[in-house]
Chains A and B, each alone.
Chain A
Amino acid sequence: MTEDTIPHFEIGDALAMRCGNTLTASFVPGGSKIALSAYRPVKWSTPDAPSESAGEEPVLIYMAQETTLYTEPLLRSLLAETNAAFTTLQVLSQGPKGDAKKSIDYLKISRTYRSIIRCFLEKVEHAKKSPEVQENEATKERHTEAIYTFYAIECLWNLFEVLYIQQQHNQLIVGELLEWTRFHFPDTEDSATDLLLMAEEASECDNYWDTLKTLVMLGQLDVTRAILSQHRKFNQTVFQTADQVLKSMPVYQDGYAMQKFCSQWEYWHVDLERKLAAHVFATEPQLELLMQLISGSNKHWDAELVKSQDWYEFLPGYLLFTRPACKPFELRIAATNWINRWSGLRPNWKMTQLSRMIMQLMEHDIKLFIYEAQKLGDSHWFATHLIDLIYHSGQLNSYFEQQHIDLPSLRFSMIFEYGSYLMTSHKLWQLGIDYLDCCKQEGSAAIELLLTRIPLKSERQAFKIIAMAKERGLVNVEQSICKVLSKRAYADQRYGNALEWAMRSKDVLLVTAIADFILKHYSNTGVMLCPDVITSIGARMFVSPRLVFLTKYFEFYEFYRERDFLSGAELLVNLLASKITPDYFWPSLLIDALPLLESGDPKIFAKETIAILQHLELELVPIIERNKLNTAKFNNQSSKTVFSDYRVENVEEILDLMRLACARNLSRATIIENTAPEA
């Protein structure tokens, strides 16, 4: 490939062309876009001053992307449907080996793909006529482009199927090829239908004979006969003879001996030529011309060929009248000869990509065909699915070996790239995953890289992504998504949500940070945030000791609110002894004990009261001391570091109250405990 075939995509950025500036580009993370902008390399000699272009030109960033067909939801529907066929094929190939049955299955898959395309084409054609599409120029163009591309793909796939997937034991292909051209050149059939509907009047029609000639060259003899039989002069001998010739043309039937068929056909052919030589049809020149075509007369074919739309249009018809038993390997020579003949008649003819690819298929040049298939504007849809099918059906293995092409690795790289293309495309990521799943560890690594980069638009989507990550054992992806959502909820002050996601992420630091926030908020304001979430934590609290504390404290808080003081007191004493109380929460926790201690009928036993007193002296007092020290050291600035609440000024007073309360409760409890048992 030479330099000038490299496509040009140019952006007219004024700034990039000035003062030695150039262009820079970088990939957009997680997407298939590229960001471009003007660039000025900085060198040791660059002066430290505004550049010459400062303020002169607008500074622009461009976002570019490979042109893709699948921007409309309708056009994307094709991808979803083929994804299902692709998955079926992967499952099929893993099933038990049973060769004969399998090749039929592969044919079925191939037909499924084609029927998906045909159905899709129909839908797009229909949609194209709708006013919404007609009004929007860009959308209309995309629809046209999609129709054009996929029409070509269907045509190629159909031919590929006839030549390489469909395995017939007799290897006769002319019939199939005729079907193929019939489908892809429907104009003649349309005008033939018109003629049939006109009945007797048809023979007066201007295009009567032209249509018949084209029908003959397309090998559609049944229709030809039907139209001929409507001719006004059909009763005349010459028409009867012609009809007889058409009717008696041998058609190969399954199970028939090939040799016998060939000799019968040869006999029929010689008979026709003999009739032509004897000028049997001379009274009707048009009919005679028709018969000349049927006899395969090169002179007459050449004259008619000029009318054809593309080189391959009449090739199957010509084969029908000259080599009806043509085998795939003979097709190569026939096609080469035919194309030479055709281009000889049309010296100015330029091959389109479609006609070139058809030639490659007929000439058995699969390698070049696949190379060309990758240039269709379908984001490699065709090449990828076809290669995959070729790989599974295994029918071309020896060909690829001969050509030194590593088919498995070719398939692998095609699927990998197609899968990553889908995954990096807007709204297509769920389809891409199935393709990357076939790509072993590279696929799994790519899924891991790309899944985390899908923008998390809603929690529903996040759950979907997490489910997919879980299916594949990608723990990191799940945790990363949970952390991001937790951070996001926290920034939005949705603390319950933040805590939920943090617990899912199993990130101890994150959970601790959020639990801290909730506890501090409570000790500052007396308001418990997100009680519903905390209630439902349950066994998940063991992620972080701080969360355990939060949950347990919340339990106490609930007991207290429900006035279940005895259970509350017990829990509080346990909490005090638990050694998981964060420093900043000691005052809160001890003050909570105050009302319980002051209660008329003791809620806390003597032993526990002593424990509380002990905590008071051993935990709270040192903290206060430390705090004082810090306050002194930093000149009052950090007095808020430990107790950032209103109690900080009154902490000494609280301490005294606590001591007093403990003493009173202790006396009450001791009296009760020591008198009760004897009674």
Chain B
Amino acid sequence: MVSLLQEIDTEHEDMVHHAALDFYGQLLATCSSDGTIRIFNSRKNNKVLTELKGHQGPVWQVAWAHPKFGSILASCSYDRKVIIWKSTTPRDWTKLYEYSNHDSSVNSVDFAPPEYGLVLACASSDGSISVLTCNTEYGSWDAKKIPNAHTIGVNAISWCPAQAPDPAFDQRVTSRNTAVKRLVSGGCDNLVKVWREDNDRWVDEHHLEAHSDWVRDVAWAPSIGLPRMQIASASQDRHVIIWNSNADLTQWTSTVLHTFDDAVWSISWSTTGNVLAVTGGDNNVSLWKENSEGQWIRINYESGTATQSKQSHHLRNPQQQPQQQPPSNKPVMSDSERSSNLSNSNLSHSQMSN
């Protein structure tokens, strides 16, 4: 059972490509095809606080830095630029740094875990990845580029959490040595690649091959103290794949989460990494979680004794748009969103049937 808390009218003139909430989930930044970024207070009212103009093309993605660096936002655009913005009050923003060393549209930006300092990774259609590091003492920026990361282009990028997975036998405190910086990227060569920083250089550590079409989104799961890491990747081949590593990240194994009815465009982990939201061309948002046996199941929710369906929203005709795949004759799935970390799936279906 899901309830709608609020609707925010962004008043953008064209499609919003990405909406990101800050670290505390309070300020909302949206970026649009109209070339602007708008900031809202997501809790109080829905009025826009400010509009940031600086890009000359559609803005694809925005990312918030950790608040310990102050209020900092990064944006990337079709105009090949990455702009880092800084504010003193939510209404008052200035350009902190502009990076324009990409030869094509910049598709994705992601701030590194704050333990590494103020570091930003950018993925571009020119096939390269840039890692921008700010020297906070002097306010200067240093850029390192990984050329030819993915041929044709890099679509998405995501950082590995700073907490190194704990080897089971190790004490927590001693294993807290600063982890090696790692990144995951997904690109038009159908690959997912894991990168590791090695003495000022980024080396291509693993090629994760399983997708048969462009990889559209990658997301490294938050670490919750288990001796493993997880990456989710979404692709136009209609698959979402969960990649599981061993304790020292030397091996990755893949599990296909599900084959969807249409291309999958984006994925998002919940804060503790126990629920994955998947959205795609089938006009659905579905939520998934891993049960105690390592199976991925879709969270579903039957109305219980005390809960009646009482959504007052106008119904949407969930018609499928013919995109890459002709509409199959599978039943049209409904939107099934549950936003909390809870699910009724602790006892899985397989258990129910035995």
Contact residues of A with B, CB < 8 Å? 1, 3-13, 15-17, 20-42, 48, 50-51, 53-55, 58-68, 141, 145-146, 148-149, 152, 352-354, 367-368, 370-371, 374-380, 404-406, 409-410, 412-414, 416-418, 420-421, 424, 441-442, 444-446, 449-450, 452-456, 473, 476, 480, 483-484, 487-488, 491, 509, 512-513
- CB-nearest residue of chain B to A493: B88
Asked whether B250 is an interface residue with its Cβ less than 8 Å from the other chain, the reply is no
CB distance from A64 to the nearest CB of B (A): 5
Asked whether B158 is an interface residue with its Cβ less than 8 Å from the other chain, the reply is no
The answer to whether B284 and A8 have CB atoms under 8 Å apart is no
CB distance from B245 to the nearest CB of A (A): 16
The answer to whether B319 and A17 have CB atoms under 8 Å apart is yes
Number of residues on chain B facing chain A (CB within 8 A): 118
Q: Which of B143-151, B179-187, B195-203, B263-271 contacts A (4 or more CB under 8 A)?
A: B263-271
The answer to whether B283 and A12 have CB atoms under 8 Å apart is no
Asked whether B349 is an interface residue with its Cβ less than 8 Å from the other chain, the reply is yes
The answer to whether A64 and B2 have CB atoms under 8 Å apart is yes
The answer to whether B16 and A61 have CB atoms under 8 Å apart is yes
16 CB-based A-B contacts, threshold 8 Å: A4-B331, A15-B15, A17-B316, A23-B335, A28-B21, A35-B28, A48-B57, A374-B347, A406-B292, A413-B292, A418-B342, A444-B225, A445-B225, A453-B23, A455-B26, A488-B67
Q: Which residues in window 217-270 of B have CB below 8 A to A?
A: 222-226, 263, 265-266, 268-270
Q: B306-348 interface mask toward A, CB cutoff 8 Å, 1 = contact, 0 = none?
A: 1101110111111101010000000101111111111110110
Residues of A within 8 Å of B310, CB to CB, are 141
Q: Which residues in window 1-21 of B have CB below 8 A to A?
A: 1-17, 19-21
Residues of A within 8 Å of B280, CB to CB, are 22
- CB-nearest residue of chain B to A487: B70
The answer to whether A417 and B342 have CB atoms under 8 Å apart is yes
Residues of A within 8 Å of B190, CB to CB, are none
The answer to whether B57 and A23 have CB atoms under 8 Å apart is no
The answer to whether B16 and A152 have CB atoms under 8 Å apart is no
Residues of A within 8 Å of B16, CB to CB, are 37-38, 59, 61
Q: How far is the CA of A38 from the CA of B33 in the complex (A)?
A: 13
Residues of B within 8 Å of A32, CB to CB, are 339-341
Q: How far is the CA of A85 from the CA of B19 in the complex (A)?
A: 41
Q: B30-48 interface mask toward A, CB cutoff 8 Å, 1 = contact, 0 = none?
A: 1011100000101000000
Q: How far is the CA of A323 from the CA of B336 in the complex (A)?
A: 48
Residues of B within 8 Å of A491, CB to CB, are 70-71, 88-89
Residues of B within 8 Å of A424, CB to CB, are 271, 340-341
- CB-nearest residue of chain A to B15: A40
Q: B261-298 interface mask toward A, CB cutoff 8 Å, 1 = contact, 0 = none?
A: 00101101111101101011111110000011000001
CB distance from A57 to the nearest CB of B (A): 10
| Contact with A380, one of B8, B269, B284, B342 (Cβ below 8 angstroms) | B342
Asked whether B172 is an interface residue with its Cβ less than 8 Å from the other chain, the reply is yes
Residues of A within 8 Å of B163, CB to CB, are 445
Given contacts A9-B2, A10-B335, A368-B352, contact A421 B342 (CB under 8 A): yes
Given contacts A12-B314, A377-B306, contact A55 B266 (CB under 8 A): no
Residues of B within 8 Å of A367, CB to CB, are 347, 351-352
14 further A-B contacts with Cβ under 8 Å, apart from A50-B13, A487-B70, are A6-B333, A7-B303, A7-B309, A8-B309, A12-B313, A23-B279, A26-B19, A29-B24, A42-B17, A54-B14, A65-B3, A406-B292, A420-B341, A454-B24
The answer to whether A34 and B277 have CB atoms under 8 Å apart is yes
| Contact with A23, one of B283, B302, B343 (Cβ below 8 angstroms) | B283
Q: How far is the CA of A442 from the CA of B224 in the complex (A)?
A: 5
Residues of A within 8 Å of B268, CB to CB, are 25-27
| Contact with A66, one of B30, B282, B335, B340 (Cβ below 8 angstroms) | B340
Asked whether B174 is an interface residue with its Cβ less than 8 Å from the other chain, the reply is no
CB distance from A442 to the nearest CB of B (A): 5
Q: How far is the CA of A38 from the CA of B316 in the complex (A)?
A: 13
The answer to whether A60 and B335 have CB atoms under 8 Å apart is no
- CB-nearest residue of chain B to A486: B68
The answer to whether A1 and B349 have CB atoms under 8 Å apart is yes
Which 8 A-B pairs rank lowest in CB-CB distance, beginning with the nearest?
A445-B225, A149-B306, A12-B314, A377-B307, A483-B68, A374-B344, A26-B268, A34-B339
Asked whether B78 is an interface residue with its Cβ less than 8 Å from the other chain, the reply is yes
The answer to whether B21 and A404 have CB atoms under 8 Å apart is no
Best-surrounded residue of A67, A353, A377 (most CB of chain B within 10 A): A67
CB distance from B226 to the nearest CB of A (A): 7
Residues of A within 8 Å of B284, CB to CB, are 23
Q: How far is the CA of A63 from the CA of B83 in the complex (A)?
A: 27
Asked whether B69 is an interface residue with its Cβ less than 8 Å from the other chain, the reply is yes
- CB-nearest residue of chain A to B152: A44
The answer to whether A39 and B30 have CB atoms under 8 Å apart is no
Q: How far is the CA of A452 from the CA of B23 in the complex (A)?
A: 9
Residues of B within 8 Å of A376, CB to CB, are 304-307
Given contacts A13-B316, A29-B21, contact A421 B333 (CB under 8 A): no
The answer to whether A29 and B277 have CB atoms under 8 Å apart is no
Residues of A within 8 Å of B78, CB to CB, are 48
- CB-nearest residue of chain A to B3: A67
Residues of B within 8 Å of A483, CB to CB, are 68
- CB-nearest residue of chain A to B262: A22
The answer to whether B1 and A66 have CB atoms under 8 Å apart is yes
CB distance from A641 to the nearest CB of B (A): 12
The answer to whether A513 and B42 have CB atoms under 8 Å apart is no
Given contacts A53-B14, A353-B304, A375-B344, contact A39 B338 (CB under 8 A): no
Asked whether B110 is an interface residue with its Cβ less than 8 Å from the other chain, the reply is no
The answer to whether B302 and A65 have CB atoms under 8 Å apart is no
Q: How far is the CA of A61 from the CA of B136 in the complex (A)?
A: 34
